[in-house]
Structure 1
């Protein structure tokens, strides 16, 4: 078991002197809007990085669809030109998805959000679109031209069982102890592979700034379930 991060902590102060007060206010408004009903989709948790307001860390718990069971970390990066230009959503580990560029790990929105519209499009829209893109109905609608990863798109449409098998394997890995708790359960080194596994790469890149998970012991787990039962009965 693990404890999930809070969705709505107070935004930290930007340490980058190039961030203007107006830009800081725009980012703060976007963050506060996620606290409204349906502002932030269920299963997605967001917190500003200690590096400043222009970088947010997020975790996406996928509950339904071919990616069910996946726990995916991502980073939301705002440009200095925000809100004229939209933020970039980049996953912090490899994600087997037709809208995720395999080289940059950037998720590319489709449809209306593929072209950012100032004052009309917001982070909330982006996060809801992200969640929808992992469901079967939305995956069915992605065209080859929209796909950032043509190979995954082709597998989904022409070798669906292979796609499901590979997706299932990656979902299990994303929720494994070595990925969620890399410091407590480091993955054994592989003599045949020089490429770092996604969990190790992610931890080294984000360091102490990322959202971290805490594994619960039996007593903590029991207290958590008791609190949940009391909340439901009350």
Structure 2
């Protein structure tokens, strides 16, 4: 059993390394493609008809989407790399950092994110990864929310065995049959034009939690919002 686990870990490390190399090495040729397409549009736009300009816009949009996917894939692969530093993390400090990073994207986030902790706790976790986890979950809550007044509630708690985090929103909600699917890489339930994104944010969340030997699940119904439940097991 131990040998099988070691083999699986080795395969995962190989996959992470391959993903990192592919996503990193493809960045430069993609930048070149995007730059030359934009240059073509800038220099010869007045000589092109409407169809040609539209095709160029499609090419630029596709390049930008691919860059976003590769950036997220790079982030995903880096989570599996050896550097992992557990420290005592203050939940409130983490939430404030998340708000700061989200403010440009969602100016109303300061008043829409409600934080509470049932106890004065410190979570023993990788500080950067924990912030990335909360950021992705909150970003998801804002993105898939059509309410004029989005509400996101974040609760921290603990018991003898684990730290507990829940992120609850009043967004679109998800049908039960898709609850497992949403944690897959590049899995999207909505059209890109309506809800832009790479479809890897929740996969990153799951990998962060796996790195901490924890778990992440979702309770959700269409029209009733979603609640993500996260547990991080305490080291013994």
Higher helix share: 2
Same fold (TM over 0.5): no
TM-score for both structures, normalised by structure 2:
0.22
Structure number with bigger Rg: 2
